[in-house]
Amino acid sequence: MFRHDGAMTIFQTITAEFGPYALYMAFAVMFLGGFVKGVVGFALPMITISGVGSFMSVDMAVLALLIPGLVSNLWQGLRAGILSARGLLVKYWRVFLILPVVLAVAAQVFTRMSETALFVLLGVIVCTFALLELTGFRGKLSGPTPKLEMVTAAASGITGGLSGVWGPPVMMYLMAKDIAKSEFVQTMGLVFLIGAIVLNLSHINSGLLNPVSAPFSALMLIPSLLGMWLGTRVQDRLDQTKFRRATLVVLLLAGMNLLRRGLM
């Protein structure tokens, strides 16, 4: 964790431990993550953890994600208005109730659980789903599916607590429901927002996010929000078919990333 004695700022620590160009590289990763999130509504955690984690520590990668994840999801979740957001909270209330509880518990037992089997299993499921959908074998869910919705929320909470990535299970569920682009993007923004709130509180409790380390996470807001703003301009021009295909491609990459984390 980072010291509170003020001997070194977080930026001096980053330069000393990871080199003089680490901050610029983190800016580039966060811009890319924000752009992709703006286009398809997700992938900021995946790109941040994988990208920043490739030249900094895992703790630094999670730290880079915390505040940008919170603010960007607030923007995404409320972009279509408060009334629309309230309607989605009611429609998918099981997800919004179960996911944060499971995520909070999983985040606190991070060091006691093995990630390998979970990530490999989830990665295989996500990749299989995305590949089948991309090749034309579309699976659809019709009518109310409360039990599946609860299982989906629990699975998302577990992966979120372990790695900061809790989106793929919910995304697969919503895509199988074949909902409209606007509903998908806003629902995922609200899902990510609730998870981001819990994750930030959990890491305040764990000590990762503190007065010394927070300025780095806050600085990462600049590139991530700029990228997201540009990405939303692209998303607004995509029709439903192109949006779904783009989402499936990024979801496939997310599944491959889960496999990488599990196997490596």
pLDDT tens sequence across 101-115: 887 787 776 555 566
* 154 sits in which H/E element: helix 146-163
Distance between CA atoms of residues 261 and 178, nearest Å = 29
Q: What token pair was written down for 194?
A: 């609730």
pLDDT at 1 over 80: no
Distance between CA atoms of residues 160 and 199, nearest Å = 8
Give me the chain's average pLDDT, please: 86
pLDDT at 34 over 90: yes
95 CB-side CA count, 13 A: 26
Reduced to 3 states (helix: H, G, I; strand: E, B; else coil), residue 41 is coil
Q: What token pair was written down for 183?
A: 């509903």
Cβ distance 1 to 36 under 8 Å?
Answer: no
Confidence (pTM): 0.81
Sign of the torsion angle spanned by Cα atoms 15, 21, 27, 32: negative
Query: Among 42-51, 79-88, 105-114, where is mean pLDDT lowest?
Result: 105-114
Q: What token pair was written down for 44?
A: 């900021």
Cβ distance 95 to 225 under 8 Å?
Answer: no
Please, what's the b/e burial string for 229-247 (b: 16 or more CB within 10 A of its CB; e: otherwise)? Answer: eebbeebeebeeeebbebb
Q: What is the DSSP letter of 1?
A: -
Instruction: Write down the pLDDT at residue 258.
Output: 77
Distance between CA atoms of residues 133 and 63, nearest Å = 34
Greater model confidence, 158 or 68: 68
- 161-196 pLDDT per residue, tens: 776 667 788 888 998 888 889 899 999 999 989 878
